[in-house]
Amino acid sequence: MTYSLLARDPTTGDIGVAVQSHFFAVGRLVPWATAGVGAVATQAMVEPSYGSHGLELMGRGYAPNDALAQLLEQDLGSEHRQVALMAADGTAAVHTGSACISAAGHTTDHGLSTHANLVESEAVWPPMSEAFRTADGNLAHRMLAALRAAERHGGDIRGRQSSAMLIVRGTPTGHLAEDRVVDVRVDDAAHPLDELERLIDHAEAFGGLLRMLQTEGLLSGEHTADAELVRQALAELDAAQRVIGEKNVEPTVWKGLLLARSGHQDEARRTFQQAIRTEPRTATLVRRLARAGTWPGDPATLDTLLTPSDSPAVPDPHSEPDR
């Protein structure tokens, strides 16, 4: 019912699973991954427990081959399954049951496995490996290139409907938000890989914002970030704004706050006014963010930055008194 791959980035150690299918919401069934443990793709006559149990066994120290053998032994329907397990170090094991609907098969190599069933022909899954190996970019974009290669060679014989990608850290940080590098899914779309690519780009853009919010002294608490860190953060916020488009002004709002916190008042005012023209509730949002700790001083001092330079400051009618 689908084609997928497991892959590891030898540079970062990140490990991921990506999938496309003519099946509604394939992302809730096929891809599984846990930072520091590995990844699983379970498909064909899909049995999701291979995902959770496979990760549990690898987390207990089982090699992918041994974990897969144990799972298959316990499953009376194993010949209808297609399952791939990859440990955090890139070792992998794949099973394509004899009763999987053709065309069905897989390739296995260290750090990369590709698998497909109910696809147009046996020419679908081998090109995925070559596409991944030769593609540019980070792990997410190389995995996407592999999915596109499968689609170019026929893909799912029924067409396309949904896709998903999950990438985790090879070494866990202890924080789920950091351990999951990419976690996006397209449940129902005419061109799911195009939509998946858009979501991957957005995930990367917003991931940068999350890192900034978690960086002590940059966007919350006392401002202690040095000029170089501020410069890098401003450039990243500008890049994020370009990716997500002008209708969503969140990166611009945070840019205004960072400029204000770092003493660039005139630039902060211009930035806030730019956001307010697109979304008039920006002023209310900034005041609420200030009360939540993004502004180290009196939140009222932001009023001059939220009001055009040729207009008197007006209190926010939607603001709530501090309690």
Give residue 85's pLDDT. 98
The percent of residues in the chain predicted with pLDDT above 90, rounded, is 82
**Rounded (5°) CA angle 109-185-242:** 105
Q: Are residues 240 and 163 in the same domain?
A: no
Distance, CA of 141 to CA of 114 (rounded, Å): 16
**Interstrand relation of 105-109 and 112-117 (parallel, antiparallel or unpaired):** antiparallel
Higher pLDDT, 276 or 307: 276
- Asked whether residue 213 is domain-assigned, the answer is no
Q: What is the mean pLDDT of the chain?
A: 92
83-87, 148-152, 296-300 — which is least confidently predicted? 296-300
Do both 27 and 140 map to the same domain?
A: yes
Instruction: Mark whether 134 and 253 lie in a shared domain.
Output: no
Question: Token pair for residue 136?
Answer: 């540019």
Do 160 and 231 belong together in one domain?
no
Contacts of residue 51, defined as CB under 8 A and 6 or more positions apart, other chains included, come to: 30, 31, 32, 40, 42
Domain check: are 261 and 117 in the same one?
no
**Which tens digit of pLDDT belongs to each residue from 105-117?**
999 999 999 999 9
The answer, yes or no, to whether residue 315 has pLDDT greater than 80, is no
Question: 225 is written with which tokens?
Answer: 């970030």
Same domain flag for 243 and 154: no
Say whether 148 sits in a helix, a strand or coil. helix
Residue 56 has pLDDT above 90, yes or no: yes
The burial class, CB within 10 Å (0-12 / 13-18 / 19+), for 270 is: middle
Assess whether pLDDT exceeds 90 at residue 278.
yes
Rg, Å, the chain Cα set: 24
Query: In terms of domains, do 174 and 297 share one?
Result: no
Confidence of residue 310 (pLDDT cuts 50, 70, 90): low
DSSP 242-287: HHH-TT--HHHHHHHHHHHHTT-HHHHHHHHHHHHHH-TTHHHHHH
Using pLDDT thresholds of 50, 70 and 90, give the confidence band for residue 213.
Answer: confident
| Secondary-structure breakdown of the chain: helix, strand, coil percentages, each rounded to the nearest 5 | 45, 20, 35
Joined tokens for residue 35:
């930072």
More confident residue, 297 or 97: 97
Pick 299 or 20 by higher pLDDT: 20
* Residue 70 maps to a domain: yes
**pLDDT (mean) for 59-75:** 98
Residue 294 to residue 314: CA distance in whole angstroms: 21
- 3-state SS class at 306: helix
Looking at 189, 217, 241, the residue that finishes a domain is 189
Q: Is 317 a residue whose pLDDT tops 50? A: no
| Averaged pLDDT, 197-203 | 95
The reply to whether 128 and 80 lie within a common domain is yes
Same domain, residue pair 181 and 233: no
The average pLDDT across 302-322 equals 61
| Whether residues 17 and 119 fall in one domain | yes
Q: What is the per-residue pLDDT for 318?
A: 47
269 falls within a domain: yes
Residue 62's CATH number: 3.60.20.10
pTM: 0.88
Percentage of the chain lying above the pLDDT 70 cut? 95
Angstrom distances, CA of residue 317 to CA of 106, 195, 239, 269, 321: 62, 39, 33, 20, 11
Is 307 strand, coil or helix?
Answer: coil
List pLDDT tens digits, range 155-181: 999 999 999 999 999 999 988 878 999
3-state secondary structure of 1: coil
Decide if 32 is inside a domain: yes
Q: Does residue 172 sit in the same domain as residue 302?
A: no
- Residue 204 is assigned to a structural domain of this protein: no
Q: Write down the pLDDT at residue 23.
A: 96
Whether 321 maps to a domain, the answer reads no
pLDDT band (50, 70, 90) for residue 39: very high
Domain tally for the chain? 2
Which pLDDT belongs to residue 301? 81
In a domain, 314, yes or no: no
pLDDT 10s digits, 235-264 = 999 999 999 999 999 999 999 999 999 999
Task: Indicate whether 129 belongs to any domain.
Answer: yes
Section 34-39 average pLDDT: 98
| E strand map for the chain | 2-8, 15-21, 31-34, 38-44, 81-87, 92-96, 105-109, 112-117, 162-168, 180-186
163 and 18 together in one domain: yes
d(CA 164, CA 29): 10
pLDDT at 95: 98
Could you say which of 189, 210, 242 is where a domain stops?
189
Domain residues for 157? Answer: 2-189
Phi, psi angles (nearest 5°) of residue 43:
-150, -155
CATH number at residue 260: 1.25.40
> What is the pLDDT, as a whole number, of residue 280?
93
Return the pLDDT at 313: 46
Check: CB of residue 5 under 8 Å from CB of residue 152. Answer: no
